[in-house]
Structure 1
Amino acid sequence: MDAKRLLIFGTVARAGSLAAAARELGWTQPAVSQHVRALERELRMPLIVRGSRGTVPTEAGLALLGHANAIAARLRAADAEVAALAETSAGSVRLAVFPTAGATLVPAAMAVLARRSPGLEVRLTDAEPPQALALLRAGEVDAALVFRYDDEPAQPGGPASPLVEHPLGEDAIRLVLPAGHRLVGRQRIHLADLAEERWVGGCVRCREHLLRVCARAGFVPDVRHSTDDYVIVQSLVAQGLAVALLPELALQSMRHRGVEVHDGVVGAGIRRIALTHHADAGGIPALRALLAALVETVPDLGSGPSA
């Protein structure tokens, strides 16, 4: 199999059309099409379906795309390592990050990098963990800072494009109550004590977590509002319209003066934070430097608001 043609096919599959891939590669559309057809002849099966609205990978094309992305990631890693031999403090890393970490952990880690390696550049993309991992697998970012709840399974990378996960720490889940709520001041709160309350649900995975922990506590929460904006969540709680579970990072990035935060709620769970990247990218100096800065920054997580 011709590796160059495989990479060209990967560009076509990701771009969604021959024309878009040609623009990205700086080639003519016929040249791109010729390489894809040659690869199809080599493999003796079609890899894309061509239509008026672009191209769609066939089943064989989808199977091959994972290998194309893995090869592209390996080549980028090799390029970065060679470049680092000339300038170890330079380079760049593309990072997908979930919003609350983007407002807290990552700026602090970037400040560490700016002092240690002023020539190193971090390019951020805001994305919740499922989207961040999709960007990583597609080769659009070099690493993803993600979280998963303690009752969720780990995210596999797949055999063609294995992912490596570096655990960084835990993000505690806090109970957010209106000031003056009947439970404010209680040393220990059980989720079952909140069975009759109205709730604010967060992002899709956050709502799913809320439903799971409340089910274990023996009730179905009355979720009146749904928003992934932590400012709105706290504003609703401050007005006495609901209660909520929020991660510590959300409260570090913004704390409404009209809410009370309780860290002794039983059964709320935790979020585990990790930096994830392709296995082949582990040798990229910029990525190693970012990981070291995050490891240094995450221990400060426990210094945020508490009950």
Structure 2
Amino acid sequence: MGLRLSGKGQQSHRMVIFAAIFVLMTLLILYGSNSSADTIYSPIHMATGHAAKTTDLKKWAGKEGYVPFYGNKSMTLHCQNCALVTSSSHVLGSRAGEEIDGTECVIRMNDAPTLGYGSDVGNRTTLRVVAHSSVFRVVRRPNEFLQRPDSNPVIVFWGPPNKIGKEAKGAIYRLIQRVSMTYSNLSCFSISQSKMHRFDTLFHRETGRDRQKSHSWLSTGWFTMVMSIEICDNIKVYGMVPPNHCGKKPASKKMPYHYYKPRGPDECVTYIQHESGRRGNHHRFITEKQVFARWAKQYNVTFSHPKW
């Protein structure tokens, strides 16, 4: 007669297996990263002189652009009211946690934690949007991000198709797929290559700037805001500063870029360096926020801590 493990034994056994898999996958990814120079997906080249246009994101939206890592799950999430919690240190001291947790759906980004910060950022997570560069930081803390007993979150990973795309089946893809198989409460999706191109086209239409020619990457905030508008009827954003915040006189008080990294870089210094960067690839945080300000009037988006 076979030996049956207790609940705690099963959990310990599963964690040991997952840890071994994670170590193996990490080694594979580190090895693979040394032989690949591709760090961003290939954009669509738009005609020069293309004027900025407004896109109806409700018509632009398409659930078919989300590909499950395991099984035949589909991206069906829809919420009347959403709290989009940024990673900005402006959320510290807000005491907004209870309000955030009382919202129907809570959206977070990358590896922004809740443990230890619940009074300001809440504890619930409905959707987490994760860049391919943050995959390690998420999966190495399963108790924080993957195995929460009080939730069944959706995680959407974005990045170059050659790294997380289903067709490539590289080390990062296999790691996320293993996570999906291990934690049945999760629904993990990647953004398809065609939808990634649509995000690129959207940036060009809304800003009049070609992402590649301006040497920029779309930020996780860009993907998260667009997805939130797709999914939510009403959105309240916590911690995001307005586009003119870093140009105010006198200069704004120095604030860490991430609320969970108090010794990290200053937020405004980071924004200005990225916005003005011309060599290498940078995020255009301020440009993106200018678009968000316009979208706010169209899609029932409000901003808190600070209020716009």
Q: Do they superpose with TM above 0.5?
A: no
**What's the TM-score once normalised by structure 2's chain length?**
0.27
| Bigger Cα Rg | 1
More strand per residue: 1 or 2? 1
More helix per residue: 1 or 2? 1
